[in-house]
Every structure is written in C-alpha cells, then in structure tokens.
C-alpha cells in the first residue's frame, strides 16, 4: 500500500471520527427534549408527604449573596423543619451572618455548630458528618451555601422520598450572575455540559447514578446504609460518591421538578479557569474512563480538524455548520427551554468560546493533580484528597 493511500485512509478515518460529537449532540438533544417535555407536561401535585426535615448547611467564608441565599431557606412553605449550619473555624466571617439570620427569623429553628472535628481532608464532608449527627429529623437535605430556593422547595424534595424505592433526591440549577465574563462562562457549564451529559447517561443506563451538591436529600436510614459521610471524608467529589453509593443500594435517585438557583460571584478569568481545572482533575480521578470518553463530546476541535482535512470547501463548511447548529440547539433545548436559565438565554453566543476553553482545560486535566479549594491546597489521587500545604489566611476567600 502506498503512502498516499495510507494518508487518505487516515484522513477519512479522522473525518468519520469527527462525526462522533455530532451524533452525541443529536442524542443529547433528544434526551433533553424527552426529559423536559415530561417535566413541563407533569402537573404540580401537592404532596401530603411532609415529614420533619433537617436542612444541613456546611459553610466556610461568605459567598456572594450569602444572606439572601440563607434567608430563602427560612421562607419555605413547610410544616416543620430546622436549619443547621456547621463552620470549621470559630473566627469564620460567616458566623455573624448566621447570627443575624437567627435574629431576623426567630420563628425558625436555626442552629450553628462550630468546633468541627477534622476526620479527613475534605472540610465540607467533615462538617456534614457533624451535621448529620446533630440533625433531629429523619429527612436530611444537604445544600451548598451559594444556593437560593423557592418557597415550595422542601415540599418538592420530600415528595419523592415517600416512595420506599427512592434513596435520594437531587436537582439541576438556574444561574444568577451579576456582571462578570468569568462567572458567565462558569454558569454556562450546566446547560453546555452537566445536564446533557447527565441526561444521556440517564437514558443509556436507565437510571440516575449521581447527585449534585446544590441539593442532596436522603434519609438517615439510607445514609447509614452507605456508611454515612464518615466514609467520604477523603473523597474529592463527595456528591458523586454519595449518589454512586445510593444507586449501588438498588435505590432510585430522583431529579427535582424545579431547579434551584445558583448565585455566581463576579470572578476573573483566572479564577474561572482555576475552578474549571479543579473540576476536571476531580472528574478524571473519579471516572478516568469517562474522562477520556469526553473527547467524543468536544464538537469544536473535531469540526475544526474535519474542516482542515476535508477534500472540499463544501464538506468543510458542512462540518462547521453542523457543529454550530447542533451545539446551539442542544444548549438552547436544555438551558433555555428546559431549565428556563436566564444566563444561558443571554450567553448562548458564548458557547463556541466556552467549548474551546473546555477542551483546553480537559487536556490540562491530564497533566495536573493539585487543586486549591477554599484557600487550601490539595493533591487529588484516585479520587481522594491529600492536603499538601497549610491554610494561608491571605489566600483564603
């Protein structure tokens, strides 16, 4: 076989491979349409299942809009619940904010826990260990500090738990951003990557095997069955580990009908890239094969490669046009139509640039293992955290 024939074979092989992301986008569009069509058609039904609940808030530092985030949990339309905050450091600046919350909402059961025992390097999970031990009620609802919710939130969380086959509840989110390109890029992650990947996995596997930190709800019974959060204090991605363990029990994980709101602070591009790399390193460690497989979901680099190798201008334009059309349709279907996300609606034009950045970060994720999380430096190895430096007050927050 001649060299020319070999090169021609490689060219057509590359062109065939470049069609892979386009097929994935089409599948993801269908999965998004199928899921959200059902959600939009499903009528909200008031549930009588409203057991007493404990809302668990592991916090550190003051996030943007933190008071309003916390206050939204104090305005829930629910018969009986408590809110527990856990703070690792006695001088954390979030403590006065929680105290103000207790004064402003005296009718709510709000408790603040400090002096958290450090069982492992994951400080958030250390907080959750203490919170679950202190919780008075059987329904546990864990939520990150940058989350804001609607008054019906807890009713929607509790309703699926009435089914004995449901082990956990989680949710997607809508973004809220106040003027920052880095924050706009970060908020786009849900519609551009997280939701499509999650819904394709859900369709192929026939079930949800993951959870998201912005809402993780379960019962004490189920949490004890997976070893409690004590079994996750060394893990980087505690939400993935939590969902994976619940699913391994043979229990279902349900997605909430209404997304929560994630409040993103103004951040520089450098901060955005640091967050992206941290998530990439975490994903590569918890799902190494899946991380490699993400290569076939990156439509932009494949479309550019196909355009460079295409034997005609029309074929090159076809690849680039198909990428742009399918990619924007996917993000619109999931983010704008499905989630009703205002960030996606106004930032749709940023998607190709977001894809280019995402591909670069994905490549960088193969060559990095150190992350900085809430001012502390760690090394991630096989999904586990190893602290490699002492906390620096000047670097924190």
Dihedrals φ, ψ of 371, to 5°?
A: -135, 160
Q: Are 258 and 152 in contact (CB under 8 A)?
A: yes
Using 50, 70 and 90 to split pLDDT, how confident is the model at 383? low
The CA-based dihedral angle spanning residues 375, 278, 188, 58, taken in that order and rounded to the nearest 10 degrees? -50
Q: Which fold has domain 44-172+212-266?
A: Spore Coat Polysaccharide Biosynthesis Protein SpsA; Chain A (3.90.550)
- How far is Cα 246 from Cα 166, in angstroms, rounded to an integer? 9
Q: Are 79 and 51 in contact (CB under 8 A)?
A: no
At residue 178, the pLDDT reads: 76
Q: Domain extents for the chain? A: 10-38+274-373, 44-172+212-266
Per-residue pLDDT tens digits for 166-199? 999 999 999 988 778 888 888 888 888 889 999 9
At residue 373, the pLDDT reads: 63
Per-residue pLDDT tens digits for 108-127? 999 999 988 888 888 899 99
DSSP three-state, residue 366:
coil
What is the pTM (predicted TM-score) of this model?
Answer: 0.88
Per-position DSSP letters for 227-264, written without gaps between them:
TTGGGGTTBS-HHHHHHHHHHHTT-EEEEPSS-EEEEE
Closest among 347, 348, 342 to 174, alpha carbons compared: 342
Per-residue pLDDT tens digits for 287-346? 888 889 999 999 999 999 999 999 999 999 999 999 999 999 999 999 999 999 999 999
């Amino acid at each position: 076989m001649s060299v020319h024939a070999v090169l021609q074979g490689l060219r057509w092989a590359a062109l065939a491979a470049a069609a892979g992301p386009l097929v994935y986008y089409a599948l993801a569009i269908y999965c998004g349409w199928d899921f959200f069509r059902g959600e939009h058609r499903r009528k909200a039904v008031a549930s009588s299942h409203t057991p007493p609940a404990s809302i668990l808030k592991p916090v550190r530092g003051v996030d943007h809009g933190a008071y309003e985030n916390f206050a939204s949990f104090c305005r829930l339309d629910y018969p009986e619940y408590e809110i527990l905050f856990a703070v690792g450091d006695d001088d954390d600046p979030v403590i006065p904010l929680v105290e103000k919350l207790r004064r402003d909402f005296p009718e709510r059961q709000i408790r603040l826990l400090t002096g958290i025992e450090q069982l492992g390097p994951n400080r958030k999970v250390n907080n959750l260990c203490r919170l679950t031990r202190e919780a008075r009620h059987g329904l546990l609802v864990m939520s990150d500090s940058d989350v804001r919710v609607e008054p019906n939130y807890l009713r929607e969380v509790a309703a699926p738990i009435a089914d004995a086959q449901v082990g956990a509840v989680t949710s997607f989110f809508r973004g809220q951003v106040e003027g920052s390109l880095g924050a706009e890029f970060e908020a786009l992650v849900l519609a551009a990557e997280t939701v499509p990947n999650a819904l394709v996995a859900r369709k192929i596997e026939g079930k949800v095997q993951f959870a998201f930190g912005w809402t993780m709800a379960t019962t004490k019974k189920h949490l004890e069955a997976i070893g409690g959060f004590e079994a996750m204090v060394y893990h980087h991605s505690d939400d993935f580990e939590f969902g994976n363990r619940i699913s391994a029990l043979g229990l279902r994980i349900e997605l909430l009908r209404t997304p929560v709101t994630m409040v993103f602070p103004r951040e520089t591009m450098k901060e955005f890239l640091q967050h992206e790399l941290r998530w990439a390193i975490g994903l590569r460690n918890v799902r190494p094969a899946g991380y490699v497989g993400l290569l076939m979901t990156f439509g932009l680099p494949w479309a550019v490669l196909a355009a460079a190798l295409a034997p005609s201008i029309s074929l090159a334009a076809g690849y680039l046009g198909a990428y742009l059309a399918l990619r924007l349709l996917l993000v619109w279907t999931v983010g704008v139509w499905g989630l009703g996300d205002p960030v996606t609606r106004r930032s749709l034009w940023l998607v190709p640039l977001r894809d280019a950045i995402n591909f670069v970060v994905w490549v960088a994720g193969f060559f990095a293992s150190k992350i900085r999380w809430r001012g502390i430096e760690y090394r991630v190895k096989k999904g586990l955290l190893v602290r490699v430096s002492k906390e620096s007050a000047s670097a924190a927050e």
